[in-house]
Amino acid sequence: MTKSELSELLHSVYDHVGEGEQFLESAGNYPKVAYWETVWDDSVASGEDYETVVTYQVSHAALRPRDPALVALKRALNEAGLHPTIYHERAQEDGGPAYFHSYMAVDVLEDLT
């Protein structure tokens, strides 16, 4: 999967998608999803070429647990051959409502050089 394909997948499930952790902290509608890179890992591809595996954190915020959008995201990822571990916690930003934060790591291939 590429970053572009990840973005397309997220936009197919959610009306509110943002790149960057600050998107979760912004006021707005729920459910919403944000993604941002956390790790770059060079790996040798065929021959002597390198490709970079970029790990993205994908964070879903909703006002209820097991939100249908989260279930739809899991289904879409599974159909794409990805089976990430999904973690859950209750969160709250200053002045905002309490919400359910679910997050996972998704690896994609990118050409960074």
Q: Is the pLDDT of residue 73 over 80?
A: yes
Helices (H), 1-113: 3-13, 22-25, 68-79
Residue 103: which pLDDT band, with cuts at 50, 70 and 90? very high
Per-residue pLDDT tens for 11-33? 999 999 999 988 887 767 899 99
Closest CA to 55 of 45, 43, 41: 41
Kindly report the length of the chain.
113
Q: Is the dihedral of CA 40, 43, 49, 53 positive or negative?
A: negative
pLDDT of residue 72: 98
pLDDT of residue 8: 97
Domain boundaries, the chain: 3-110
Residue 75: which pLDDT band, with cuts at 50, 70 and 90? very high
Q: Is the pLDDT of residue 85 over 80?
A: yes
Q: Which helix (H) or strand (E) holds 61?
A: strand 50-62
Encoded tokens for 46: 């065929």
Q: Which residues pair with 55 in a beta bridge?
A: 39, 107
pLDDT of residue 48: 67
Per-residue pLDDT tens for 23-68? 887 767 899 999 999 999 987 766 667 789 999 999 999 999 999 9
pLDDT of residue 47: 65
CATH superfamily, with its number, for domain 3-110: Myoviridae tail sheath stabiliser (3.30.2000.40)
Distance of CA 18 to the CA centre of its chain: 10
